[in-house]
Structures are given as structure tokens and as C-alpha cells.
Chains A and B, each alone.
Chain A
Amino acid sequence: MISFDGVEVTYPNGYQALKGINLDIPKGQFVVIVGLSGAGKSTLIRTINNLVVPSKGEVRVGGRSITRARGAELRKMRASIGMIFQTYNLVKRTTVLRNVLSGRLGSANPVASLLGIFSKSDLLMAHACLQRVGIPEKAYVRADALSGGQQQRVGIARALAQQPQVMLADEPVASLDPPTANAVMGDLKRITREDGITTLVNLHFIDMARDYADRIIGMRAGEVVFDGTPAEATDQVFTEIYGRSIDKEKDLLRQAS
């Protein structure tokens, strides 16, 4: 479904965020990417919808190169790739429903959408998406009136409204408390599984990666340093990914408290 072919990203300031990534992700897989901040997880995920343009190599989604896609073709490909963010990236001063409807912008009639007019099927779908993430009653509430967990559910609903083939999630639960984080991750996994959506999630938490992933990819300094099943991702492996012992971190925490 998604393939990376020698993908490199060098930012204008000379920082090399990705160094020759080669990956193949089959349809329907739920992949969790782990690694330290700055390891290149966010950059990797953003090359899949071309928010970050690789300086070398290319990314193909559904067999077509999104790296080389431009203009209307790029927008059309993006429309089939949902994305959710750590900071939710909702438009706060507008209603939940309008945020969810904005997920339809890639495929809605452009002129009508600029006037705020959506087809009845788009409206029905937006309400259905809110139903699926468990907050149908919030449709006409302003987005900034919701809790963090609810806002991220709106983010998921917006991505679902795209009827995506692929779902990207950049640290989707990093700003949430642990129980809420688990609930949101659970919803994300359930829904993407039901729809057969190929999903890539960046995560900080190791336990959560093991709980939800079909496959774990470990990144360090712009390279893939681990690629395997959750069972294969032992503590030893995580130590290598993070470049230091997790037990030592725990010891340090214990000493500090």
C-alpha cells in the first residue's frame, strides 16, 4: 500500500532528518513508529502525504508516486490520506461539525464549499463520523469548548470523513492523560481495522506501542533501526532504539522521587 524507496530529507538548514529509508507497508497494517524526539518520525509520516517533500527518493501510495504528484493530482491523493495531529489542529472558533466537514474539502464541489454549502450525503457522513467516535451530540458545539480527548476524536472524525485508504497519526495521544490516551488509541485501532485502513502512528509510549501495533518500526537519527512484531520488540530492542537503557531511566526516576 505504501512504499518508501531510498527516501532522504534534508531541511534547508542542512539538517538531515531522513537517511535512505526503504519500507513496504501492506494494506490494512497498523504500524507504530517509535523513537526519540528528533529521530525523524514526524518527517517520515509527512512524506507519505507530501507535507514534507523528500530531497531524494520517492514515496508511493497505492502504487502511485505522491512525491512526484502536483496540483490537482496531489490534492486528490491527499484526499484519500487522513491525518491526525498531536495538537489536534482543529479550527477552534468554529463548530465541531464544520471541522469534520472540512475533511470533505478534497472531494467536495470547490465553489459550493467556498460558500459553506455541502451536499446532503456529505452532511450525513459528517454526522456518522461523529457517531463512530462517540460524540454525536457535540456536532453544533464550538471546537474549543471540548476536552482534549474529545478534540482528538473530532480530529479522527475529520480524517474519517475523507473515507481514507491510509491514516497517519503524529503523536495523537501525547497531549492526553493516560486513560484518555488509551481510549483514543483503542478507538483509532478499532475504526481503522473495521474499515481496513492502513495506519501509521508515531508514539512515545513503549507499552502502548506493544499493545496496539501489528508492527513496530524503531527510528534513530533518521534511520530505521528496528522493524518487527511487538513480540520481537523486547526491552533490549527499545534500549537500542532509544540509545540508552530503559531500566536505568526507571532507576533515575525512582531516585528522583
Chain B
Amino acid sequence: MMGSPPTLPQPPLLPRLIGIGSWALFLALLLTSAHFTNFSLQTLAQGIPDFFAFFGKMWPLDWRALPEIWQPLLETLQIAYLGTLFGVLLAIPFVFWGSRNTTANPWVMWLVRGFLTLVRSVPDLLYAAICVGILSFGPLPGVVAIVIFTASVLAKLGSETVEAIDPGPLEALQAVGAGRLQQIVYGVVPQIAATMASYVLYIFEINVRASTVLGFVGAGGIGQLLRTYLSFFDYRGTAVLILIVFGVVLLIDAVSSYARSKLI
């Protein structure tokens, strides 16, 4: 063997620098976040006995709480149901305004999309708190918050579904002399109905879970009762409440998932 040893080709510099920089940023964020939130594994480990002690306080379960749970639980489901229903109705025009292939004109589309992004950037619990400020305590602000959340999410998912449809039937309906609304009803709706129904069920599942904590900001439902129990350190009642909510949410999710699996 003769000659100089083969030289290894150097990988380009920029991607390597970006790689090193990304790791550095990741580490810096981890360390500063942990520092300022006083996060420490040690404290966490010391808390383990308290964790079990907390569950100990929940025992034995205080089933006397049961009768007063049903009414607010029902209210929670009603908030989720009404909120989803009105949210879906509110979303419908935005679905078509926000889709390239069904909008009246591109300006409307971009305006609607921008507006929806703005609406979605606020968490639903914050909407609930704001609505409580305007409409005072009770389930009504909860319903309004769920309506806003449902409409903004469904409008986004819906317009993406509309943009993915087969354009052929729309062209055929245009050729037939159908108007814009007729084109939507006959050409678009049958193509998106099953997917949209599945989305609505999924959003309803999310809304049921969201409605259980709305009460923390005074927007009605079981959350209000939960907050009362916790503030009186009534952990045995709290445990019963959480168990019941857990069971009901699980049941609704199961039924809804089954229905969704049958849709598509």
C-alpha cells in the first residue's frame, strides 16, 4: 500500500452548526425553565409519601355525596351538548367561506381564516372566565365558551375537508346551471358529511371533558361542586365525584368512538 492516506470528505459546515445550536438552545431552555419554576426531582421524590397520604384521605369513599352529584353532572353534559350543537350551526357558514373551492371570493376566505386563527389562539377556559365576567355565574357562560371553541375548531377542520373533495361533481353541477348554494348542497355536502359527523362526535367528547372544569371559573356544571369539595378539604366526597365523572366520560367516549368507527 502506497500513497497518502485517503482524506475523508468534510460534511458541509452550516448544517452541523445548526445541529449544535439546536441542542444548545434545547439545553438552555430546559435549565432556565427548571430553575425559574423551582422544578426539582428531589422535591418530587419527597412528595411521594404525601401522594399516597392524599389518596388515603379519600378513603373510605363518602357516598353521601352521590345525590348532589347527579344534578351538576347532568348540567355539565347539557352544557357540552348545547355548546356543541350551537357551535356546529355557527361553524357551517365559516366552513364554506373559509374554503378555497367554495368561498365567495379570496378576500372573504383570508379574512375568515385570519379571524378563526385569532379566535382559536385563546383557550376555552379563558373564554369561560371572560363570559362569566359578562354574563355572571352559571351554565350560560359555559355554553357560550363551548360554542366559541366548537365553531372555531370545526370551521378549520371543515374547510380543510372541503378543500380535499373531488372537484369533478362540482364541475358537473356548474355545467348543469346550478347556483353556488345548490353546488354546495348537492356537490360538497354528500362528500364531507361522514367526515364532518365524525369530527363533531370527537369535538363533543372534548367538550364533555372541558365542561367538567368550566365550573372552576364559575361557568356552571360539576366543576363548581368539585371546587367546593376541594376548598372544604372534603377528599372523600371529591373521590366519589371524580370516580363518577371518570365513568361517565369513559362511557361517552366509548359510545362516540364506536359511532365514529361506523361512520368512515
A-B contact count (CB 8 A): 79
A-binding residues in B (CB < 8 A):
166, 168-169, 171-179, 181-182, 185-187, 190-191, 193-194
Q: Which of B169, B175, B193 contacts A90 (CB 8 A)?
A: B169
Do A102 and B190 contact each other (CB < 8 Å), given the known contacts A51-B171, A114-B182, A114-B185? no
19 of the cross-chain contacts (CB-CB < 8 Å) are A75-B178, A76-B177, A77-B177, A82-B175, A83-B172, A83-B175, A83-B176, A85-B172, A87-B168, A90-B172, A91-B169, A93-B191, A102-B178, A103-B176, A105-B173, A107-B177, A113-B182, A114-B181, A162-B177
Beyond A83-B176, A92-B191, A105-B178: 4 further Cβ-contacts under 8 Å? A91-B186, A93-B190, A105-B173, A155-B172
With CB as the reference atom, state the residue of chain A lying closest to B172: A89
A226 to B171, CA, bound (A): 29
Which positions 126-176 of chain A face chain B at CB distance < 8 Å?
Answer: 155, 158, 162, 168
A88 to B169, CA, bound (A): 8
A77 to B178, CA, bound (A): 11
A190 to B182, CA, bound (A): 31
With CB as the reference atom, state the residue of chain B lying closest to A80: B177
A81 CB within 8 Å of chain B:
yes
A155 to B172, CA, bound (A): 9
Q: How many residues of A contact B (CB 8 A)?
A: 34
Q: In this complex, which of B166, B169, B172, B181 has the most chain A Cβ atoms within 10 angstroms of its Cβ?
A: B172
Q: Please, which residues of chain A bring their CB within 8 A of the CB of B173? A: 102, 105
Do A105 and B186 contact each other (CB < 8 Å), given the known contacts A51-B174, A78-B174, A158-B176? yes
Q: Which of B168, B171, B178, B187 contacts A106 (CB 8 A)?
A: B178
Q: Check B168 against A105 for contact (C-beta < 8 Å).
A: no
Q: Check A85 against B178 for contact (C-beta < 8 Å).
A: no
A89 to B181, CA, bound (A): 18
A49 CB within 8 Å of chain B:
yes
Q: Check A49 against B181 for contact (C-beta < 8 Å).
A: no
Q: Please, which residues of chain B bring their CB within 8 A of the CB of A82? A: 175
Q: Check B177 against A94 for contact (C-beta < 8 Å).
A: no
A116 to B186, CA, bound (A): 9
A79 CB within 8 Å of chain B:
yes
Q: Please, which residues of chain B bring their CB within 8 A of the CB of A162? A: 176-177
Q: Please, which residues of chain B bring their CB within 8 A of the CB of A51? A: 171, 174-175
- Give min CB distance, A196 to chain B, whole Å: 20
Q: Please, which residues of chain B bring their CB within 8 A of the CB of A49? A: 175
Q: Please, which residues of chain B bring their CB within 8 A of the CB of A168? A: 175
A38 CB within 8 Å of chain B:
no
A110 to B183, CA, bound (A): 11
Do A85 and B177 contact each other (CB < 8 Å), given the known contacts A91-B186, A102-B186, A110-B182? no
Q: Please, which residues of chain B bring their CB within 8 A of the CB of A79? A: 176-177
- Give min CB distance, A113 to chain B, whole Å: 6
A114 to B186, CA, bound (A): 8
Do A94 and B190 contact each other (CB < 8 Å), given the known contacts A76-B177, A102-B176? yes
Q: Please, which residues of chain B bring their CB within 8 A of the CB of A87? A: 168
Q: Which of A75, A91, A158 contacts B177 (CB 8 A)?
A: A75
Do A89 and B178 contact each other (CB < 8 Å), given the known contacts A94-B190, A105-B186, A114-B185? no
Q: Please, which residues of chain A bring their CB within 8 A of the CB of B181? A: 110, 114
With CB as the reference atom, state the residue of chain B lying closest to A161: B176
Q: Check A89 against B168 for contact (C-beta < 8 Å).
A: yes
Q: Check B171 against A110 for contact (C-beta < 8 Å).
A: no
Q: Please, which residues of chain A bring their CB within 8 A of the CB of B191? A: 91-93
A103 to B187, CA, bound (A): 12
A51 to B174, CA, bound (A): 8
A76 to B182, CA, bound (A): 14
Per-residue B-contact encoding for A204-235, CB less than 8 Å = 1, 0 else: 00000000000000000000000000000000
Q: Check B172 against A158 for contact (C-beta < 8 Å).
A: yes
With CB as the reference atom, state the residue of chain A lying closest to B186: A102
Q: Please, which residues of chain B bring their CB within 8 A of the CB of A88? A: 168
Q: Please, which residues of chain B bring their CB within 8 A of the CB of A90? A: 168-169, 172
Q: Check B187 against A91 for contact (C-beta < 8 Å).
A: yes
Q: Check B172 against A105 for contact (C-beta < 8 Å).
A: no
Q: Please, which residues of chain A bring their CB within 8 A of the CB of B179? A: 75, 105, 110
With CB as the reference atom, state the residue of chain A lying closest to B187: A91
- Give min CB distance, A152 to chain B, whole Å: 12
- Give min CB distance, B204 to chain A, whole Å: 23
Do A78 and B177 contact each other (CB < 8 Å), given the known contacts A91-B191, A102-B186? yes
- Give min CB distance, A17 to chain B, whole Å: 17
A93 to B187, CA, bound (A): 10
With CB as the reference atom, state the residue of chain B lying closest to A111: B181
- Give min CB distance, A49 to chain B, whole Å: 5
